[in-house]
Amino acid sequence: MNRAPFGNSLSRRNLLTALAAVPAVALLAACSDSGEEAKAADVKPADPSTPAKPAATPAAAQVPEAQGTVDMAELLKPGALPEKQLGKDDAKVTIVEYASMTCPHCAHFAMTTFPELKTKYIDTGKARYILREFPFDPSAEAGFMLARCSKDNYFAMVDVLFKQQPSWVGVNNTKEALLQISKLAGFTQESFESCLTDQKLLDDVRAVQK
């Protein structure tokens, strides 16, 4: 049996087992605030009897020099999967987001910033938005696979998974949690497992990282 790489190996059928047995926390450290929290913990409060020093006048902001150029034609080439986009093809501005379904910052952006961005720029034709899957771990891969299997409801499924992120990321049985969410989106047990054992879809979701 051919095996798909995760590290060195994780087959399509092993993905379901991994979801059921292992909490999805392996790569979340890359997306956490732990470093900032540690720095904040080291800062001691000022003595209230000590007069506060006047704030220094900020220096004029310096615009950093470009470190190179971006080949837009190359950037906008679709990958292994068809692009998932919102907005008009001829919009003057194109926004490309690389996201992981298990990234808390991605979920925060989706819930707090994206709705206004969509209303002001995407829905008005000023910008088009492309979401590209960049999964951090098996749970994120599963989330994007389920979104892809939702066909025309791709963005609706992504939205639900981001909003429900605390209920399925890092829990004892991610597979069961995802199944319950998926059933609300119209999946059956059979279509759920069929989606998550689609080897080609799994490989294509991972392809953006290569």
| DSSP, residue by residue, 149-175 | HTGGGHHHHHHHHHHTHHHHSSSS-HH
What burial class does residue 106 get, using C-beta atoms within 10 Å of its C-beta: 0-12 exposed, 13-18 middle, 19+ buried? buried
Do the Cβ atoms of 127 and 94 come closer than 8 Å?
A: yes
pLDDT score, position 117: 96
Q: Which residues contact 85 (CB under 8 A, 6 or more apart)?
A: 128, 129, 130, 131
Query: Which pLDDT tens digits describe the chain residue by residue (210 residues)?
Result: 433 333 333 444 555 555 544 333 333 333 333 344 434 444 444 454 555 555 455 555 676 776 777 776 777 777 789 999 999 999 999 999 999 999 999 999 999 999 999 999 999 999 999 999 999 999 999 999 999 999 999 999 999 999 999 999 999 999 999 999 999 999 999 999 999 999 999 999 999 877
Question: Do 66 and 123 touch, CB atoms closer than 8 A?
Answer: no
User: In which order are the strands placed within the sheet that holds 127-133?
Assistant: 84-86, 127-133, 93-99
> Residue 30: what pLDDT?
31
**What is the CATH number assigned to the segment(s) 79-208?**
3.40.30.10
Q: What is the pTM of this model?
A: 0.68
List, in sequence order, every residue forming a beta bridge with 133; answer none if it has no partner.
99
Q: What is the pLDDT of residue 70?
A: 73
Query: Which pLDDT score is estimated for 77?
Result: 75
Q: Largest Cα–Cα distance in the chain?
A: 72
pLDDT of the residue at 86: 97
Alpha helices (H) in 22-171, listed in sequence order: 34-42, 72-75, 104-112, 114-117, 138-149, 154-163, 165-168
